[in-house]
Amino acid sequence: MNKYSSSFEEDARNCSTVVELLRLRSFKQPNRNAFTFLLDGETEQTTLTYQELDRLARRIAAQLQAQGLTGERALLLYPAGLDFLIAFFGCLYAGVVAVTAYPPRNKRNTPRIKAISTDAQATIALTTT
């Protein structure tokens, strides 16, 4: 038996966090598009459903929790795209504070990233590469 009523609107009003709302949508509207990344502002490149986002975010959350990082800070170094959203929600699911920064393009940006990481007291960095 699930904890949700028959009314999405009623259940959504009872959500107090974005994580609860995503969980609700993944249960009640699993195949509905959650996010679409537009390549040039117009052309759809990739899309994530609520169910896909929930599943992928849970995978990241499980890895973060397995490392004992709940309550810690994670530096997210992602370019614009759906991978960033998956990692961000993964942090929220795990109770990890997401510190976002655009990834460095060259060594000249390394001091900036180092300063952000130090200031935030990040204990882990997540990125695509």
pLDDT value, residue 87:
98
Convert the pLDDT of each residue in 89-104 to its tens digit. Answer: 999 999 999 999 999 8
pTM here is: 0.89
Q: Please report, for the domain that includes residue 87, its CATH number.
A: 3.40.50.980
Between 33 and 8, whose confidence is greater? Answer: 33
Counting residues of the chain whose pLDDT is more than 90, the rounded percentage is 74
Convert the pLDDT of each residue in 13-33 to its tens digit. Answer: 888 999 999 999 999 999 999
Residue 2: pLDDT over 70: no
Between 103 and 129, whose confidence is greater? Answer: 103
**Using H for helix, E for strand and C for coil, what is the string for 32-100?**
CEEEEEECCCCCEEEEEEHHHHHHHHHHHHHHHHHCCCCCCEEEEECCCCHHHHHHHHHHHHHCCEEEE
Within a domain: 3: no
Counting residues of the chain whose pLDDT is more than 70, the rounded percentage is 97
Within a domain: 122: yes
Within a domain: 41: yes
Determine the structural domain holding residue 74 and report its residue range. 8-127
> What is the domain count for the chain?
1
**Using H for helix, E for strand and C for coil, what is the string for 93-113?**
HHCCEEEEECCCCCHHHHHHH
